[in-house]
């Protein structure tokens, strides 16, 4: 009897190298350093096709334009904009353009990353790794959250925000599409207060979810949920809010927007301007002139 031979697990860069890109195609790899350095890919394919292969990690992605086709568990699947695509670890799959090609954003989270989020959601150790039973689901809301987080990781100007948003996207996927049932949150008054105090005191520095979680004594995802319930916004949103409040103080003293952006922890003046206008209604320059 001839046994079934499964492809050895490969990285996505290795899978890509098996069939080089054409002139109208592009692919960019990057990592999310604050989420176990997980691999990320943004690509556009017109003719490029992947040979059957596997990964040690999950594959979690969304289509931004066009249509992707692939075979998984003996079935042919098709995904377009608003769809989420899931491949569990060591599942054999291929991938190819359909009807003119596609553009997509995808990630390769290690098992430990999704398992940790699942345990934070349920409040207990998981006896089995999370499993996505469907290869494709149409979920524009979570797909949009995931795509924006992925783009934020790629931009690299707000690593805290990217980390938090990608964490939230994975958690939402696990609840909606992997059967994870979140436990009811308790009132984490003390832990949230400690995390909030750290943000108020260290807003200008390079804060991370891990640092806040350590201060609070909670897992990162538990902290996000508890903080949002107690404060009304996520830790990242609160951090940006504190930075804008401190920016207003400095602008009233006559400091320039460029100086203020660097002082309060924004990546640059443009980053300050976007956050400031969203919360104050006018840009930092106009605010400074009015307050003079």
pLDDT at residue number 127: 85
50: left (phi over 0), alpha (psi -120 to 50) or beta: beta
Separation of alpha carbons 154 and 166, rounded Å: 12
Tell whether the model's pLDDT for residue 195 goes beyond 60: yes
Query: Residue 76 and residue 83: Cα distance in Å, rounded?
Result: 15
What domains lie within the chain, and their CATH numbers?
Answer: 12-175 (2.60.120.280), 238-291 (1.10.10.60)
pLDDT: is 12 or 179 the higher one? Answer: 179
Residue 274 is predicted with a pLDDT of 93
Nearest to 239 by CA among 219, 223, 253, 255: 223
Say what the pLDDT of residue 188 is. Answer: 77
Percent of the chain clearing pLDDT 90 (strictly above): 76
Query: Which residues, other chains included, contact 36 with Cβ-Cβ below 8 Å and sequence gap of 6+?
Result: 109, 110, 112, 113
Check pLDDT > 50 for residue 131: yes
State the average pLDDT for the chain: 90
List the end-to-end C-alpha distance of the chain, in Å, as a whole number.
Answer: 85
Distance CA 151, CA 138 (A): 20
Helix (H, G, I), strand (E, B) or coil at 203: coil
- Neighbouring CB atoms inside 10 A of 156's CB total 12
23-62 pLDDT, tens digit each: 788 999 999 888 777 899 999 999 999 999 999 999 999 9
Q: Whole-model pTM? A: 0.83
Looking from the CA of 256 toward its CB, the CA atoms found within 13 Å total 5
pLDDT over threshold 60, residue 4: no
Which residues, listed in sequence order, are joined to residue 43 by a DSSP beta bridge?
27, 104
Instruction: Please report, for residues 245, 257, 273, 283, the alpha-carbon distance to residue 270 in angstroms, rounded to integers and kept in the order given.
Output: 17, 9, 5, 10
pLDDT value at residue 117: 93
Pairing of strands 83-87, 136-138: antiparallel
């Amino acid at each position: 009897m001839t046994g079934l031979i499964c492809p050895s697990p490969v990285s996505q860069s290795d899978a890509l190298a098996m069939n080089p890109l054409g002139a109208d195609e592009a692919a960019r790899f990057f990592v999310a350093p604050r989420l176990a350095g997980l691999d990320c890919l943004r690509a556009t394919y017109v003719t490029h096709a992947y040979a059957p292969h596997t990964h040690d990690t999950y594959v979690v992605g969304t289509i931004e334009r066009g249509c992707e086709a692939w075979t998984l568990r003996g079935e042919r699947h098709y995904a377009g904009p608003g769809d989420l695509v899931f491949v569990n670890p060591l599942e054999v799959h291929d991938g190819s353009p359909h009807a003119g090609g596609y553009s997509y954003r995808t990630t390769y989270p290690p098992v430990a990353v999704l398992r940790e989020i699942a345990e934070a959601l349920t409040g207990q150790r998981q006896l089995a790794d999370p499993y996505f039973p469907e290869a494709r689901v149409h979920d524009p809301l979570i797909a949009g959250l995931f795509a924006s987080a992925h783009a934020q990781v790629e931009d690299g100007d707000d690593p805290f925000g990217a980390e938090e948003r990608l964490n939230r996207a994975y958690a939402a996927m696990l609840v909606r599409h992997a059967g994870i049932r979140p436990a009811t949150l308790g009132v984490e008054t003390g832990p949230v207060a400690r995390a909030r105090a750290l943000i108020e005191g260290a807003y200008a520095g390079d804060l991370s979810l891990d640092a806040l979680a350590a201060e609070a004594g909670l897992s990162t995802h538990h902290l996000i949920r508890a903080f949002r319930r107690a404060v009304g916004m996520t830790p990242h949103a609160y951090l940006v809010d504190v930075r804008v409040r401190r920016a207003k103080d400095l602008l009233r003293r006559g400091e320039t927007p460029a100086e203020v952006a660097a002082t309060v922890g924004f990546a640059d003046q443009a980053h300050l301007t976007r956050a400031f206008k969203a919360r104050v209604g006018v840009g930092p320059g106009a605010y400074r002139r009015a307050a003079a």
